[in-house]
Structure 1
């Protein structure tokens, strides 16, 4: 179905919804390099005006990636809940935006319509929103998950403690991890990106993380971010795996480029669940996404990168993950050119994920060849915290020495907590107070004396020295 609108003396025509969404997307380098973007600002505005008048019901029959060749499309189409869609079925995309911004769109109302939303609908309405709109609506979307602690509760945000090391050195990982713990980070997960992807190294890293967690009695979860098939092999060999990680995207072809399918992800989830390691919940998956992943794999099927990103969240929600985060500036300026585009994309991704019921976090980051700096990251962090982000990623000094990109520091999260008054996961917050790292208000003590941690730290040191 074609869409058209008259603007500025020109009758603008868009061949179908896929074309309309691409042209309505706020400016970003990836769509321009792919030849999908609007030719001018006026062209983009015309597309947004036409998109505002498009009925939401049109998305149920539109083809973005063909059903016959794509299991992600089949997942989206076959899983659509017509009853949940009914309250908004008569709305246009523009009317849906107005409803989302209204007091009628309560957290309960938003949760009720989730099964009736497709990723393309959510991506479409995000293209009509300003940054404050994306923040306002996302703040009303609540997605709570649990494993050893509870993530996503109102008034809180968590942090992933990312103690990466260029050679996966155990002492280096442990030092960065303890540094982060002493600064109050780590309630989302202790998560290491391994330098290699062998079962032996994976098992050593995940065993180290679990040993530190257990010796210090930290109510959190651990994850070695190796490939999902490596995790399955490690589980079968008895490794102490809490969360299974995988990068995912919005098409079958892009996921094949990552070496996965829906069946492989289901196998991994079943394997992790079989261990029964969660104490208060059974959310065992951790997914990472990022705008441009499908485009970089040439598996985007002519769909704009932000809509393809939203389709990845349909994959994620199928497996009830504990954590999902977009690595928003990691792929590079070929996809998001500068700080302005990264900020917009981070808020879009967070909004779309939360609207679809995904426990959404963001790696607030950029690569060193991108036109961005830490001021951009400060702004995005504060916007996301006010938008109710479930978690962010933190690394020592905001500089990841293994992945060679810039993220957030442990101190950045502390600043955001002081500014916004947001707490940590309640179980983790109680542990910090118990070991003497925080005061009654949840703030780090200026001169902490964590006596309860000393035996555990001594045991960890002795273990590492014995392993040398």
Structure 2
């Protein structure tokens, strides 16, 4: 097999304010006896991506496995510096691109600036790529570089490198410390009934869930209803002296209004995407996100840290809004992590199978996407979690989610999401159950955040080996539940 990469110059453009000469190029590679030609870097990236139904829907996926392999050979020989010059979405047309380019740390990038994508992959898997080296490198990487290297990595590669990445954040609990696994307790309810929400929350706490956040998707974005939920969680936290944080996953502008009304808000939530146009579809831009962060910081409610944002992403969001600019869905997803990185969040998670089979068709695609998202987010310096989930019309089942949760635990995921019985009765999708988190903690010997672990010990909910204790039902927390009223 003979391989060669040819570059054909087409035009040049210089970005305002910084000297980045841009050479738009076509790429070709000889694979066997066939030469594969790709119109530009965007086309190489799309064709190199593992098969995703969303890219097929967009008409940009490789037509054959041979072409996909050819694109990966081509991509492996492209210098990392190319991604600073050949912008997939124009600088002048997209504020996320401007954020990526203007925020790039050239000094942090220097140790790998001479590498191609393939050489970068080999370095990431080497002994030299230590946790400390990866932390120092993160500000020097752009989302496109990280997306590119992920496309030529096996699942095992993604797990091995992500396991070396350390991203630690804090508010009332510290998330992301080595050897620990945190969790979001998700007590969604179809009508936001206080008794139902409180029941699901207390059930999760009895399983030791919720050290990353107690976070509810409200059934309505009504301001008063969201404030009532904020008060419910704050009363519960104070009543049982729980070292965690709560979040009502409403729109950032609603959270800002709640803060102005004096609500006890811990974290500001928002779904974010990787293009300016897709974020406009969410009703946001970078300025309103920064405003939300500043509003939450002004409350000074954190005790061990000041990371006040909770952000969610998901492959397919830009395509579903027709705002992907012809860029493959995984690269668009990783661009969303540039938005998240700007906001110094406590938590970021990809709702990996939630958008549906139009974008990730089956379990194979969902599992691959979950590992990609976790790897890419961690490499960019984000505190990544995953909602290990699927919709009922996807070609997946709970056994597939068992596989993904174990792989992510091995990869050092910061946190996972759990709902009562693995069945979200409000959003109508399948996730992990409370007992799944317990199983993973026992299997991998990964306790929750240290502050939360200390609380569980005080509540006599752990045995002498740090496991959830069968006798917890007789401990102080359980006894105090008898006098707790959600609507008090």
Q: Please state if 1:436 is matched with 2:460.
A: yes
Give the aligned partner of residue 284 of structure 1: 308
Match of 2:229 in 1: 205
- Asked if the contact 1:435–1:450 (Cα under 8 Å) also holds between the matched residues in 2, the reply is no
Summarize the alignment of residues 12-411 of structure 1 with structure 2, pairs less than 5 Å apart: 12-411=36-435
Q: Aligned residue for 1:448?
A: 472
1:155–1:373 CA distance, 2 compared to 1 (3 A): same
- The 1-side partners of 2:463 and 2:470 are apart by 10
Contact 2:461–2:475 under 8 Å retained in 1: no
Return the alpha-carbon distance in structure 1 between the equivalents of residues 426 and 101 of structure 2.
40
Q: Quote the offset at 1:258 in angstroms.
A: 0.3
Structure 2 unmatched runs, 5+: 1-24
Q: Say whether the 8 Å CA contact 1:286–1:323 is kept in structure 2.
A: yes
Cα distance between partner residues in 1 of 2:441 and 2:138: 29
Q: How many residue pairs are counted as aligned between the two chains?
A: 464
Tell me which moved more, 393-402 or 105-114. 105-114
CA distance in 1 between counterparts of 2:342 and 2:62 reads: 33
Matched residue SS, 1:375: helix
- Name the SS of the counterpart of 1:245 in structure 2: strand
SS in 2 for 1:346: helix
Task: Please give the TM-score of this superposition, normalised by the length of structure 2.
Answer: 0.94
Instruction: List per-residue Cα deviations over 1:144-170 (Å, max 9, x = no partner).
Output: 000001000011110000000000000
TM-fit CA distance, 1:451? 3.9
In structure 1, stretches of 5+ residues that fail to align are none
**Shift, 1:455, TM fit:** 6.8
The SS at the match of 2:311 is: strand
Q: What is the CA-CA distance between 1:254 and the residue it aligns to?
A: 0.4
| Cα deviation, residue 456, structure 1 | 4.7
- Provide the rounded CA distance (Å) in 1 between the counterparts of 2:102 and 2:243: 38
- Alignment RMSD (CA, Å): 1.0
**Structure 1 counterpart SS, 2:323:** coil
Aligned counterparts of 1:173 and 1:6: Cα–Cα separation in 2: 59
Counterpart-to-counterpart distance in 2, 1:211 and 1:380: 35
Distance in structure 2 (CA, Å) of the matches to 1:211 and 1:444: 25
Query: Residue deviations 1:183-238, cap 9 Å, x none?
Result: 11000100000000011000001110111111011100000001110000000000
What secondary structure, in the 3-state scheme, does the structure 2 residue paired with 1:437 have? Answer: coil
Aligned with 2:30: secondary structure? strand
Extract structure 1 runs of 4+ deviating beyond 6 A.
Answer: none
- Could you tell me how far 1:2 is from its partner in structure 2? 1.6
CA distance in 2, matches of 1:302, 1:237: 42
2:472 partner SS: coil
Change (3 A) 1:43 1:204: same
Q: Distance in 2 between matches of 1:454 and 1:447?
A: 10
Shift in Å at residue 450 of structure 1? 4.8
Q: Say whether the 8 Å CA contact 2:279–2:285 is kept in structure 1.
A: yes
Aligned residue in 1 for 2:26: 2
Q: TM-score, normalised by structure 1?
A: 0.98
Secondary structure of the corresponding residue to residue 159 of structure 1: strand
Contact kept in structure 2, 1:146 and 1:283, CA below 8 Å = yes
User: 1:80 touches 1:116 (CA, 8 Å); kept in 2?
Assistant: yes
- Residues 211 and 340 (structure 1 numbering): CA distance in 2 closer, same or farther, change over 3 Å? same
Shift of 1:458: 4.1
Does the 8 A contact of 1:435 with 1:451 survive in 2? yes
- Cα deviation for residue 449 of structure 1 reads 4.0
Conservation of the 8 A alpha-carbon contact between 1:216 and 1:453: yes
Counterpart secondary structure, 2:324: coil
Q: Would the aligned equivalents of 1:436 and 1:449 in 2 still touch at CA under 8 Å?
A: no
Are the equivalent residues in 2 in contact too, given 1:423–1:429 (CA < 8 A)?
A: yes
Check 1:349–1:202 CA distance in 2 against 1; reply closer, same or farther (3 A cut).
same
